[in-house]
Amino acid sequence: MIFTVATIGAVGLGGTFADPALAQQFSLDLGAGGGGNNPNSTTLRVLQLLALTTVLSVAPSILMMVTSFTRIVIVLGFLRQALGTMQSPPNMVMMSLAMFLTMFVMAPTFEQAWNQGVQPYIDGQLDEVEAFDRTAKPFHTFMTRLAREQDVQLFMNLSRTQQVTKPEDVPLKVLVPAFMISELRRAFEIGFLIFLPFIVIDMVVASVLMSMGMMMIPPAMIALPFKLIFFVLVDGWFMVVGSLVQSFGAG
pLDDT 10s digits, 170-199: 888 888 999 999 999 999 999 999 999 999
pLDDT tens track for 220-250: 788 888 999 999 999 989 999 999 999 888 6
How far is CA 1 from each of CA 5, 15, 94, 157, 188, rounded to the nearest angstrom? 6, 21, 36, 61, 50
pTM above 0.85, yes or no: no
Contact 23, 12 (CB under 8 A): no
Alpha carbons 120 and 129: distance in angstroms, whole number: 12
The helix/strand/coil state of 83 is helix
Residue 84 zone, left/alpha/beta (φ > 0; ψ -120 to 50; rest): left
pLDDT, residue 40, reads 60
